[in-house]
Structure 1
Amino acid sequence: MSKIAIDLHYLPNLEFFAAIAEAEELLVFPRDRYQRQSYLNRTRIRLANKVETLSIPIVGRRPRIPLEEVKIDYSQKWQAIHLRGIQSAYGKAPFFEYFFPYFQEIFESGEESLLSLNQRFLTVCLKLLRSSARIAIASEEKIPDGVRDIRGQIEPGRPFSERVFYQPVPYTQLFGVDFEPNLGILDLLFCTGPEAEKILRESVKKQ
């Protein structure tokens, strides 16, 4: 069985899904430390005139706390902002009406934990991509033998072209003339629907 240790990103980008394309089990480590300026609480969508980053606010600014202790700050009404942004970006996309309710339900659930919220989003994404990979929670901090560890590798600070996971495969996006690679998974799902799985498999960088 192919097992990969992952970070639970918020509505992960296409590089993330290319990296886990062959995985049968995705191992999450709740005691890993929260990293600011990471994809743990941010995703990217394409609006009419720009690419927008959506960020989930967290309670407090305590550095280096375990992921399982990170709570979402609902005082900032971030759900309304994110839902409005997603609807503006993809409301006219071919598969929006089919897939959006899955995500809207999670947005409106009031999940307190960032880790739990991200796990729910990833579970739905895997389902819509018809992936057989399952998410497992590690019971200890030590990584088991035979597990490929990609934690900390997919980060906003460096371009995806410098890493070994993802090569862009263009598809028809809603806005713009030039293809914008490596957006959040919502872009691919809403724009391509059942073709998303095939596009992701073609996006796996040849080693």
Structure 2
Amino acid sequence: MKILLPLFYLPPISWFSEFLKEENEIILEQFENFPKQTYRNRCNIYGANGRLSLIIPINHNGKRVLKELEISDRENWRKLHWKSIKTAYQSSPYFEFYENKMEDIFSFQTNSLVEFNLNALKIIQNILKTEKAYSLSDEYVKNFEGEDFREKFSAKQASEYAMDDYYQTFSDKMGFEKDLSILDLICNKGPESLTYLKNIKTK
């Protein structure tokens, strides 16, 4: 089945569970108008004080189409995001195994949000040892023939996906945080991440 997925920054675990389903033919949306406060330019990790949002700042130059959106580098966000990720996960079971690859996400130089997200996706696929194929949309289609997931994953509401608890660095202190960025799963589950993703169900 054809699935139209939004193109996210270090997507949540639920996104990857749909992306990696063998029966899904994945198309990534790049021509939609950019909706604010979504995972297109943010991800959630588990910091020492709980859920922490990392947000890529956008250049407000009047452009609204995702493919044309430009990243703002005024805030040195790459360095800040990597520092936050390292602080959050450096004591997790698998961080050191993937540290160099994850750091490479933030050394990629582009002012295009789409290019940055696609490069990050390539690195995550490499870590997960999967070569799932996908294509990019070539125009905006309001009524997609297939399953339209563009509004499926909310950064503001609880995830509708059912996931088993797994050990997280701070879960002893604050409990399990569901459906964080794929980085959380990778750092805590390592090679078992792919199996975990395949067992996720929608409620």
TM-score, reference length from structure 1? 0.88
Residue type matched to 1:67 in 2? L
RMSD: 2.1
The alpha carbon displacement at 1:70 in A equals: 0.6
Residue type matched to 1:126 in 2? Q
Secondary structure in structure 1 of the residue aligned to 2:162? coil
Higher mean alpha-carbon deviation, 171-180 vs 124-133, is at 124-133
Provide the residue aligned with 2:199 in structure 1.
202
Mapped to 1, the partners of 2:97 and 2:142 lie a distance apart of 38
Residue type matched to 1:137 in 2? L
Provide the residue aligned with 2:44 in structure 1.
44
* CA deviation vs aligned residue, 1:139-185 (integer Å, no higher than 9, x gap): 23338986322112212232213xxxx20211111113211111111
Secondary structure in structure 1 of the residue aligned to 2:185? helix
The alpha carbon displacement at 1:133 in A equals: 1.9
The alpha carbon displacement at 1:61 in A equals: 6.4
Residues 15 and 143 of structure 1: is their aligned pair in 2 closer, same or farther, counting only changes over 3 Å? same
Residues 103 and 135 of structure 1: is their aligned pair in 2 closer, same or farther, counting only changes over 3 Å? farther
Provide the residue aligned with 1:78 in structure 2.
77
Provide the residue aligned with 1:181 in structure 2.
178
Higher mean alpha-carbon deviation, 131-140 vs 67-76, is at 131-140
Provide the residue aligned with 1:28 in structure 2.
28
Structure 2 unaligned spans of 5+: none
User: Residue 48 of structure 1 contacts residue 176 of structure 1 at CA under 8 Å; is this kept in 2?
Assistant: no
Residue type matched to 1:41 in 2? N
Provide the residue aligned with 2:58 in structure 1.
58
* CA deviation vs aligned residue, 1:111-151 (integer Å, no higher than 9, x gap): 21001111111222223223342121122333898632211
Q: Are 1:169 and 2:168 matched, yes or no?
A: no
Residue type matched to 2:108 in 1? S
How does 1:103-182 map onto structure 2 within 5 Å? 103-142=102-141, 147-161=146-160, 166-177=161-172, 178-182=175-179
Mapped to 2, the partners of 1:12 and 1:30 lie a distance apart of 15
Residue type matched to 1:175 in 2? F
User: Residue 31 of structure 2 contacts residue 137 of structure 2 at CA under 8 Å; is this kept in 1?
Assistant: no
Mapped to 1, the partners of 2:55 and 2:180 lie a distance apart of 14
Higher mean alpha-carbon deviation, 124-133 vs 180-189, is at 124-133
Mapped to 2, the partners of 1:109 and 1:139 lie a distance apart of 24
Mapped to 1, the partners of 2:69 and 2:100 lie a distance apart of 26
* CA deviation vs aligned residue, 1:178-197 (integer Å, no higher than 9, x gap): 11111111000011111001
Structure 1 unaligned spans of 5+: none
Runs of 4+ in 1 over 4 A off after TM superposition: 143-146
Q: Are 1:192 and 2:189 matched, yes or no?
A: yes
Residue type matched to 2:26 in 1? L
